[in-house]
Amino acid sequence: MSQQPTPYNQQEEEINLREELEKYLRYWPWFLISMLICIVIAFLYLRYSTPIYQTKATIIIKDEKKGGIMSELSAFEDMGILSGMGGGNSIENEMGILRSKQLITDVTKKLQLNVRFYAEGDVNTTEIYENRPFEIQILQENEEELIEAQIYSIINETETGLTLQNELTEEELNLNFGEPVNLDFATIVINKAEGYTGKFDDLLQISFTTVAAVADNYREKIQLNLTDKNSSLIELNLNDPIKVKAQQILDQLILEYNRQAIEDKNLVATNTARFIEDRLDIITGELDSVETGKEEFKESNQLTDIQAESQIFIENASDFNKKKQDINTQLELSNAMLDYLSKDSESDLLPSNLGISESGVNSVISEYNTLVLERNRILRGSTLKNPVVIDLNTQIEQIKANVLQSLQRMRSNLRIAKGDLDQQAATMGSKIASVPGKEKQYRGIERQQNIKEALYLFLLQKREETSLSLAVTAPKAKIVDRAYSLKEPVSPKRKIIMLAALILGVLIPFIFIYLKQLLNNKIESQKDMQRAIKMIPLVGEIPKVARKEEELIAKNDRSVLSEAFRILHTNLQYLLVNSGNTEGANVLFVTSTVKGEGKTFAAFNLALTLANSGKKVLIMGGDLRNPQLQRYEMDSKDLKGISDYLVDASLSLPSLIKQSQLHSNLDLLASGSIPPNPSELWRTAKANTMFEDLKSEYDYIVVDTAPVMLVTDTFLINKYADLTLYVVRAGYTEKKLIEFALDAKKDGKLHDVSFVLNDVKLSNFGYGNKYGYAYGVEKEGFWEKLKSSF
């Protein structure tokens, strides 16, 4: 059983990669122009865009828990001078502090970043940072009045001053160097910069912005990154057009961070030193009073050495006295601490490590100071409404209550112990009753002296230790790499932009051509008719005629148009051989699907081509409804013709045929008057007679017929045709209309049909005009090819 042929509409067409590429390569001039334009735009962008450089700095946060600062001060840990001062730090918290608004605001004020100088050029406006011609000092500033940036242009400079113009209000302001001037939002002083060596020909501008706006801007631009998740190395990045400016910002940021960290660490030690100084003043006065009393007692009682008299009792009571001395010291310290707690301290910090023997009390005081410091650090970048701050305040109040309770309990215990010792003292007193009253009184004075002296020496030692801790405070952030800028800009990247421009230059025409082909539903070349010409042959292609060119060919014409019709003539000879016509003229019908596809144009030029070959040719106006022969034969509109002949029996064909003005071998039979019933006229027997009579008189009869999709006239007379030329116009005929021609042939309404592709661009002509369709004709220039490609 033989295999059934696959229907055409179900066949899969093989996609030829080379043919697909040729669809785009034919537009190579547009690709070249697009790439050149994109490269020029990229070059101009790189030429006039401001390069952005990356500036980096690296620091290491010293962790007190892991060594850091404390490892350098380990010699003081035994003194207890640094216990409770800090409790370690979280890297995330430190990074948050580095990016805090307050810290960056301090940097902005220190470097005066809210005042900037600009040099206005022809294309770009460039900021001047290093070599500024003037120095500006802000004496007073009111940021509430500075709603938006204020820009002043320096329009005149003299030896004594400047003339500024407000860019917004165009108001001019004259000022003298070194004298204060009021700018509504600030009071400033402008002076000439010392050592200024530059010279600017461009217009200079001064911009004033709020500190908060500049700080917020740099807060967003500064990036912090951990070099490793397990390390405390922090890398600071800042992208800015001015390298020196970015370096100074990062260095100043680290400096401000260390300054605030040192202030935090010294806060407890400062309060402790103040407390010690106050107590030393009191103890010094008391010690002076006791020593003076002792001196007066000895002088009045003429005492020299009473130690020998009570040596035995003193040795037995030495342990007792030592205990009593310690208890009195601890009781004095507890009273001092309770007295300090009763006062409102501005810093809320408590003195630590004064020598209180109760470890629980020291622990609670250390914990209290740690929480106060943590709360104060958070308040620098936050408010009292912060949930963390509220929670810390609650904890501080609780611990403060614990401190007070612990001190009160400690004092109660000391008083009880003192009471016990007093009872023992009474017992001991009875034993030394034999000692003269003077000795007893002397011992009381000496005891008071020893207590005050011990406390005095203790406070002196603590004062020195506190002063030493203040003197050796180290920065919290150690600088690993000072701020430095990369040589190559991070933006714009020249290589990437040039490559992108090259790719975009190729992509733009490619997308345009692809969309143009995708959305185009018109026939452009014979490739668009591949399916149709497998059923109906394509016998010729007619090139597009420019507006200034002649539409009709002439004798001995060597244009592409005339060569196309000569090729059409040659191809017709092969088709006419198989038509079966052995007698009379060859009748050629020229038709199309709809109006405007170039039937009349093709019919006239085909007739002229046949006439130029020496044949006797007749061109007939077969479209009785809408005659078009008058386009090329001006007089044919008023001539009687076919419709008149078919209606009026008195008319003869020879009387209606006129010689064409275009060629001596060409005759013309006009359409005639427009009848009300063209279809009925073509159905008459006289129409058959007309064609039979004409065939005996001519070699070729070319009939310009009506569009087959609009009316049925052409179908009615197609039986008289030896060959039907179906004109399709490139760029005008929709692809789906080709189906109508195929269906007409399939249904037998048209016979011996051949396609003629009209109005083809030279870029689509034949095989892309690649193999000599314009042989012997002057070649088109580049711009002509460029215009014809689209």
Residue with tokens 């033989």: 2
Same domain, 410 and 508: no
CA 671 to centroid of chain Cα atoms: 70
Same domain, 361 and 328: yes
Q: Give the residue-averaged pLDDT of 157-162.
A: 84
Q: Which two tokens stand for residue 124?
A: 């770009």
What CATH number does residue 738 fall under? 3.40.50.300
Q: Is 349 within 8 Å of 267 (Cβ atoms)? A: yes
Tell whether 488 is covered by a domain. Answer: no
Tell which of 453, 488, 519 closes a domain.
Answer: 519
Q: Give the residue-averaged pLDDT of 12-16.
A: 52
Q: Is 62 within 8 Å of 69 (Cβ atoms)? A: yes
Same domain, 471 and 532: no
Tell whether 498 is covered by a domain. Answer: no
Give the pLDDT score at 619. Answer: 93
71-75, 629-633, 719-723: which has the minimum mean pLDDT? 71-75
Q: Which helix (H) or strand (E) holds 338?
A: helix 311-342
46-55, 72-81, 544-553, 724-733: which has the minimum mean pLDDT? 72-81
Helix, strand, coil in percent for the chain, rounding step 5: 50, 15, 35
Tell whether 93 is covered by a domain. Answer: yes
pLDDT band at residue 174, thresholds of 50, 70 and 90? confident
Give the pLDDT score at 255. Answer: 92
Q: Which two tokens stand for residue 357?
A: 């023997």
Q: Is 593 within 8 Å of 733 (Cβ atoms)? A: yes
Give the pLDDT score at 9. Answer: 42
3-state DSSP call for residue 721? coil
For every residue of 426-439, DSSP letters joined together read HHHHHHTTTS-HHH
296-310, 552-566, 669-683: which has the minimum mean pLDDT? 296-310
Taking only the tens place, the pLDDT of each residue in 442-479 is 777 778 878 888 888 888 888 777 777 666 667 778 88
Region of 445 (left: φ > 0; alpha: ψ -120 to 50; beta: rest) is: alpha
What integer best gives the mean pLDDT of the chain?
Answer: 81
CA 664 to centroid of chain Cα atoms: 75
Residue predicted with more confidence, 665 or 386: 665
Tell whether 494 is covered by a domain. Answer: no
Examine the pLDDT at 151 and tell me if it is beyond 50. Answer: yes
Measured CA to CA, the distance from residue 407 to residue 351 in angstroms comes to 13
Tell whether 220 is covered by a domain. Answer: yes
> Residue 660: which residues within 8 A CB-CB, separation 6 or more?
619, 633, 666, 667, 668
Q: Where are the alpha helices (DSSP H) in 530-660?
A: 560-577, 599-612, 642-647, 653-656
Identify any residues that bridge with 226 across adjacent strands, giving them in sequence order.
234
Tell whether 512 is covered by a domain. Answer: yes
Q: Is 713 within 8 Å of 682 (Cβ atoms)? A: yes
pLDDT band at residue 104, thresholds of 50, 70 and 90? very high
Q: What is the DSSP letter of 718?
A: G
44-58, 93-107, 225-239, 316-330: which has the minimum mean pLDDT? 316-330
Q: Side chain identity at 337, as an amino acid letter?
A: M
Identify the domain containing residue 36 by its residue range.
10-51+504-519
Give the pLDDT score at 63. Answer: 67
* Other CB atoms within 10 A of residue 281 CB: 9
Same domain, 540 and 399: no
Q: Give the residue-averaged pLDDT of 207-234.
A: 88
3-state DSSP call for residue 349? coil
Q: Give the residue-averaged pLDDT of 716-731.
A: 92
pLDDT band at residue 321, thresholds of 50, 70 and 90? confident
> Residue 342: which residues within 8 A CB-CB, separation 6 or more?
none
Q: Side chain identity at 776, as an amino acid letter?
A: G
Tell whether 686 is covered by a domain. Answer: yes
Give the pLDDT score at 366. Answer: 83
Cis omega (within 30 of 0) for bond into 133? no
Examine the pLDDT at 13 and tell me if it is beyond 50. Answer: no
Give the pLDDT score at 620. Answer: 93
CA 141 to centroid of chain Cα atoms: 34
Same domain, 427 and 438: yes
Q: Where are the alpha helices (DSSP H) in 183-310?
A: 211-221, 243-301
Give the pLDDT score at 582. Answer: 61
252-256, 341-345, 428-432: which has the minimum mean pLDDT? 428-432
Same domain, 453 and 508: no
38-52, 105-119, 350-364, 507-521: which has the minimum mean pLDDT? 350-364
Q: Which two tokens stand for residue 559?
A: 């244009």
Examine the pLDDT at 46 and tell me if it is beyond 60. Answer: yes
Measured CA to CA, the distance from residue 608 to residue 599 in angstroms comes to 14
Same domain, 47 and 121: no
Strands 666-669 and 617-621, by their bridges, are: parallel
Give the pLDDT score at 41. Answer: 94
Same domain, 561 and 598: yes
Examine the pLDDT at 156 and tell me if it is beyond 90. Answer: no
CB-count exposure of residue 492 (10 Å: 0-12, 13-18, 19+): middle
Q: Print burial letters for 91-126: b (CB count within 10 Å at least 16), e (below 16).
A: beebbebbbbeebbbbbbeebebbbbbbbeeeeeee
Task: Select, from the ranges 83-97, 430-444, 558-572, the one with the highest average predicted confidence (pLDDT).
Answer: 558-572
In total, how many domains does the chain have? 4
pLDDT band at residue 96, thresholds of 50, 70 and 90? confident
Same domain, 676 and 694: yes
Examine the pLDDT at 521 and tell me if it is beyond 90. Answer: no
Strands (E), 91-244: 115-120, 125-128, 134-141, 150-157, 161-166, 172-176, 181-182, 186-192, 203-208, 223-226, 233-240
Task: Give the percent of the chain with pLDDT over 90.
Answer: 23
Same domain, 40 and 61: no
Tell which of 519, 543, 578 closes a domain.
Answer: 519
Q: How far is CA 349 from CA 384, 400, 526, in A?
A: 18, 10, 95
Q: Is 360 within 8 Å of 333 (Cβ atoms)? A: no
Tell whether 256 is covered by a domain. Answer: no
Taking only the tens place, the pLDDT of each residue in 621-663 is 999 998 888 888 887 778 889 999 999 888 888 899 999 888 8
Same domain, 355 and 456: yes
Taking the C-alpha atoms of 210, 213, 216 and 217 in order, what is their torsion angle to the nearest 10 degrees? Answer: -110
Same domain, 424 and 534: no
Give the pLDDT score at 202. Answer: 63
Q: Give the residue-averaged pLDDT of 214-240.
A: 89
